Chain A
Amino acid sequence: DIQMTQSPSSVSASVGDRVTITCRASQGISHYLAWYQQKPGKVPKLLIYSISTLQSGVPSRFSGSGSETDFTLTISSLQPEDVATYYCQKYDIVPYSFGPGTTVDVK
């Protein structure tokens, strides 16, 4: 099975900072990569699918990039409401594994 890893496991940044989260697949997964945001105590929410397509309603400060095995989620200007854990997930073939998550905090 393809393994998903994320780095860093946590990041603390100031409001307005640029935050970058990396997701890596152990084998190529083409464009079948999604990102989810889970705020504390809340249900996960789809942010991005197909590597870089923003789900409707997601602020434009979020962006995704990458291909095959290496992917990035970027928050261009961190806001207090972005405090959450972010997960990548592959959906090329089963199992549709998630990365371990990256917790983003505001200093």
Chain B
Amino acid sequence: QLVESGGGLIQPGGSLRLSCAVSGFTVSSTYMSWVRQAPGKGMEWVSITYSGGATYYADSVKGRFTISRDSSKNTLYLQMNSLRAEDTAMYYCARAGDNVWDSWLDPWGQGVLVTVSS
């Protein structure tokens, strides 16, 4: 089970940290990803962290967002800085498999809404 939190209304230029509390598997030994969906739009892959520690980002968030995890809390995070109106979306965390060849997304959290607006 994955449970996101930390969303809300934030002004442009502000920062927010999303959390994804994981139960049923160990977040540090698997690949974990963030995906977002702007209101009424399609899915956009945002970021992934591999079990070995490597992290990757979509160009749209590179340099502004940071994915991380806390093994002691079995929680995934997404630190979002310099937020823009176009970052407004529902953010989902998802397990992305255990290897590069099984990185489909399953399961997904219920999502957390981030609204960037003045």
Chain A residues within CB distance 8 Å of chain B: 1, 32, 34, 36, 38, 43-46, 49-50, 55, 85, 87, 89, 91, 94-101
Contact = CB atoms under 8 A, between A and B. Distances in A.
A101 B102 contact: no
Given A46-B104, A95-B58, A89 B45 contact: yes
Interface in B62-79: none
| Size bracket, chain B contacts | 20 to 34
B98 interface: no
B86 interface: no
Contacts of A49: 102, 104, 106
B43 A96 contact: no
Given A89-B43, A100-B42, A43 B111 contact: yes
Contacts of B92: 43-44
A45 B108 contact: yes
B25 interface: no
A65 B85 CA distance: 38
Contacts of A32: 101, 103
A73 B12 CA distance: 39
B32 interface: no
B104 A34 contact: yes
Nearest to B108: A43
A95 B56 contact: yes
A46 B58 contact: no
Interface in B38-62: 42-45, 48, 56, 58-59
Contacts of B59: 1, 95
Nearest to B33: A96
A66 B35 CA distance: 25
B103 A96 contact: yes
Contacts of B42: 85, 87, 98-101
A89 B109 contact: no
Given A43-B92, A43-B109, A43-B110, A91 B44 contact: no
